[in-house]
């Protein structure tokens, strides 16, 4: 019997053809884009802002540098990086989803952020940038939605300058069993209800919860980064491991 596992991947808890996943993920984010910031605050009780601030603090980004905020969505990290790199630097907000990119552009322009930020619709697996281009790349709550994570990590490695660093902020595996049980109850019962009430979309938030469970754990992701060439890879568990920040360098 033929092994079709190489042609399939997961979409939440479903098994789908690899060439179908990107479209299904796109549908989710087209649906949630308009309420994305509000839902982030509700889902995390505002703690996502602390996680993102920690990511910025760990980035080492300085004036005049070039930063890629990949899967940057509505631009929370881009807004901070824009101030850090100043007029002589550059921040690229990239997202595969046109609806999310539109929301990010509108939000940042309303905040008066324009001069050093550009917007690119891009697939993380085949980034449309030259080799050795960025000083820093961040991908925040986006890697778990990528079909081929190894290919995406290799693409990020390619476009980083020597000495550059990648930061992956993503949901991960809680460290304590009691926390896992509470987190599961919240994710699979409460989160879809919030999604239904606020965004009129329980299914998309059910997928987001499932996608978190299918994402590699802390040690697995660290090894995946090292396998494509990143060195000195480390991770920091945040909020008991519900979220982890991975950091790796290109030398």
Residue ranges for the known binding site for S-adenosyl-L-methionine are 74, 95, 123-124, 140
Alpha carbon separation from 26 to 31, 100, 150 (Å, rounded) = 8, 10, 20
For CA atoms 104, 141, 63, 58, the dihedral sign is positive
Q: What region does 23 belong to: left with phi over 0, alpha with psi -120 to 50, or beta?
A: alpha
- DSSP annotation of 186 reads I
Q: In the numeric block, which tokens belong to residue 155?
A: 């693409």
Q: Tokens 């902020």 map to which residue? A: 169
- C-alpha pair distances (Å), 32 with each of 13, 86, 99, 206, 211: 19, 31, 9, 12, 15
Give the number of other CB atoms < 10 A from CB of residue 202: 15
Non-local (6+) Cβ contacts of 106 within 8 A are none
236: buried, middle or exposed (CB in 10 Å: 19+, 13-18, 0-12)? middle
Binding residues, as ranges, are 74, 95, 123-124, 140
Q: Strands, DSSP E only, in 122-226?
A: 134-140, 160-171
Contacts of 40 (CB under 8 A, 6+ apart): 48
Q: How many CB atoms lie within 10 A of CB 123?
A: 17
């Amino acid at each position: 019997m033929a092994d079709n596992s190489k042609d399939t991947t997961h979409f939440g808890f479903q098994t789908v053809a690899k060439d179908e996943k990107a479209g299904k993920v796109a549908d989710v984010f087209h649906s949630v884009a308009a309420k994305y910031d509000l839902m982030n605050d509700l889902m995390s009780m505002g703690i996502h802002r602390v996680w993102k601030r920690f990511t910025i603090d760990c980035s080492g980004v300085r004036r005049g540098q070039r930063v890629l905020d990949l899967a940057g969505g509505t631009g929370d990290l881009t807004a901070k990086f824009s101030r850090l790199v100043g007029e002589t630097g550059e921040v690229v907000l990239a997202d595969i989803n046109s609806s999310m990119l539109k929301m990010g552009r509108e939000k940042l322009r309303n905040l008066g952020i324009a001069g050093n930020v550009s917007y690119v619709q891009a697939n993380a697996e085949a980034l449309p940038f030259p080799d050795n281009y960025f000083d820093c790349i961040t991908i925040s709550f986006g890697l778990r939605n990528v079909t081929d994570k190894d290919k995406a990590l290799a693409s990020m490695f390619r476009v980083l300058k020597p000495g550059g660093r990648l930061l992956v902020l993503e949901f991960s595996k809680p460290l304590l069993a009691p926390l896992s049980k509470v987190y599961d109850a919240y994710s699979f019962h409460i989160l879809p209800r919030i999604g239904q009430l606020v965004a009129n979309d329980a299914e998309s938030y059910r997928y987001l919860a499932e996608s978190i469970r299918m994402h590699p754990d802390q040690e697995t992701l660290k090894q995946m980064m090292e396998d494509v060439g990143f060195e000195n890879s480390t991770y920091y568990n945040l909020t008991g491991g519900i979220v982890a920040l991975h950091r790796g360098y290109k030398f």
